[in-house]
Amino acid sequence: MTVSLALDVKAELGEGPIWDARRQRLLFVDIMRGHVHEFDPVSKGDRVHHVGQPVSAIAPTTGGDWLIATRHGFFHLNPDRGDVKPVALVEADKPTTRMNDGYCDPRGRFFAGTMSMAHEKNAGSLYRLDPGGRVTTIFTGVTTSNGIDWSPDGRLTYYVDTGTGRVDVCDFDADAGTLSNRRPFVTIPAGRGKPDGMIVDAEGGVWVALWGGGAIDRYLPDGRLDYTIDLPVTHPTKVAFGGPDLSDLYVTSAWIGVPAEARASQPHAGGLFHCRPGVKGRAATLFAG
């Protein structure tokens, strides 16, 4: 499979790619720089929105703007005017934590979690933001809340706490928006990297970025490893399907985790990469707020 460099953006900590079908753009963030990128695959143009604080995840909304997870909560970002308006604060009383990855469930609620910037174990949580602005705690004792997505039938939730070295699976109650019966789905072998962002494709395949492992794994719904895509950088962070028919796979990456002695051999670390794996993704659910 041919993996190409789509954008040599040199993101410090690229994350959170998601396809905005309305605008036909790939959105992603550079977390600690507070940048939201809006990449046009046709023109290769990249518009950067400066949020003014760390920003870790994005969700297009039914209203046409974007919901973003920032350091201490949820905000709306207007992509035309660039203004940012608060929705709900999260852990604003904890100066050493920040929000991390997030995604919308099938009903348009946004799930996103937190992590310790001081690398403290079990200091984070997973939250659910409802369309009306209410925030509910789903899990506590999380080390690095990362990828989350749902099975095509909406019955299962896949979730990554990077500190566990696993992808977990939970039963999902769509009406209540709750997760139960959390159990291991797949454990990443030692030396393969750490599970980071993830997404589920149209066939139910689970794609996991391996931080420090230089690869993306695709797992079948029964937990078997289907195949691996090797990358020219060691620190991929998350994948997203995009393009008119959702058959293009984009991968964000980071250079911040690359050891200094290895950076010369990874001149495109922090870049946005592209391939066509032969399976299609699913349209991202819009936040219903």
Interval 111-154: pLDDT, tens: 999 999 999 999 999 999 999 999 999 999 999 999 999 999 99
Rounded to whole angstroms, how far apart are CA atoms 205 and 74? Answer: 29
Mean pLDDT of 19-34: 98
- Residue length of the chain: 289
Give the three-state DSSP class for 20: strand
Rounded to whole angstroms, how far apart are CA atoms 86 and 76? Answer: 6
Rounded to whole angstroms, how far apart are CA atoms 108 and 114? Answer: 20
Beta bridge partners, 27, equal 18, 38
Give the three-state DSSP class for 83: coil
Interval 181-226: pLDDT, tens: 999 999 999 899 999 999 999 999 999 999 999 999 999 999 999 9
DSSP symbol at 175 = T
Rounded to whole angstroms, how far apart are CA atoms 131 and 135? Answer: 10
Q: Does the pLDDT value for residue 260 go beyond 90?
A: no
Q: Which of 196, 201, 217, 248 is catalytic?
A: 196
Q: Does the pLDDT value for residue 231 go beyond 90?
A: yes
Q: Does the pLDDT value for residue 1 go beyond 90?
A: no
Radius of gyration of the chain (CA): 17
Q: How confident is the model at residue 257 (pLDDT cuts 50, 70, 90)?
A: confident
Mean pLDDT of 29-41: 98
Handedness of CA 182, 186, 191, 197 (dihedral sign): negative
Q: Does the pLDDT value for residue 52 go beyond 90?
A: yes
Helices (H) and strands (E) in the chain, counts: 0, 24
196 is catalytic: yes
Q: What percent of the chain lies above the pLDDT cut of 70?
A: 100
Q: Does the pLDDT value for residue 43 go beyond 90?
A: yes
Residue 282 CB coordination number (10 Å): 18
Q: Please report the domains of the chain, with CATH numbers, ordered by start residue.
A: 4-275 (2.120.10.30)
Residue corresponding to tokens 């391996």: 210
Interval 83-102: pLDDT, tens: 999 999 999 999 999 999 99
The mean pLDDT of the chain is 97
The reported pLDDT for the residue numbered 289 is 81
